[in-house]
Amino acid sequence: MNVSLTWQLQGFLISIATGFFLGAFYDIFRIFRTVFQSERRAVFFQDLFYMFVIAFITFLVALGINYGEVRFYILAGEGIGWCFYFLTVGFVTLRVFRFLSKIIKAYLFRPIRWVVSKISHFILRILKKIVKNTKIVTAIPKKRLKHCRSIVYNQYIGKVKKKAKVKGGRAAHESHKK
């Protein structure tokens, strides 16, 4: 399709503005990562989501400007707008939000974490006492039980009580039999 130079220039400027807004959209993820200290897996999925979103937006921009034809100047315009955002406004916003996150962590998250840790230590101390008391309570009945004799094949297997040996008496004779 034949597109005039003015349409191409207008499309280039629109793609620069789109790239600028895509940079601001990515800045939201950077701020989220700065405040909540995301893991590698979470960063991967955030970046994957971001790539799908910008691919869809790039498709919509190309559809609106060139009737769906992807041209190099559209992609270059988005890249220039994205870089322009990060070298100007993005640099400032990241610094501001890093500063704000330090303040929020110092005056909001740390006191909350301190209170929660004190409460959890108190609860753990109580639970340890309960566990200790239940161990004592369950151990007491075991001490009260008497040892029973074991009988196997009708034979007594237990401790033989020694009777006083009487020379030549009946007790001495029975002890030698066993």
pLDDT tens column, 25-80: 999 988 888 777 788 999 999 999 999 999 999 999 999 888 878 889 999 999 99
Look at the pTM and tell me if it is higher than 0.85.
no
Q: Is residue 143 part of a domain?
A: no
pLDDT of 21 higher than 90:
yes
94 belongs to a structural domain: yes
Does residue 31 sit within a domain? yes
The answer to whether residue 177 is domain-embedded is: no
Q: How many domains does the chain have?
A: 1
- Assign 89 a pLDDT band (cuts: 50, 70, 90): very high
The confidence band for 19, taking pLDDT boundaries of 50, 70 and 90, is: very high
pLDDT attached to residue 129? 86
d(CA 7, CA 17): 15
Mean pLDDT across 155-173:
52
| DSSP per-residue string spanning 71-115 | -HHHHHHHHHHHHHHHHTHHHHHHHHHHHHHHHHIIIIIHHHHHH
Q: Is the pLDDT of residue 97 over 60?
A: yes
Taking only the tens place, the pLDDT of each residue in 115-149 is: 999 999 999 999 988 888 777 666 665 555 555 66
Q: Per-residue pLDDT for 150 more than 80?
A: no
Which range of residues forms the domain containing residue 73? 5-122
Say if 13 falls within a structural domain. Answer: yes
Do the domain assignments include residue 57? yes
pLDDT > 90? residue 82 = yes
Residue at 21 is within a domain:
yes
Is 159 part of any domain? no
Give me the pLDDT at residue 49, please.
Answer: 95
Token pair belonging to 156: 């007594």
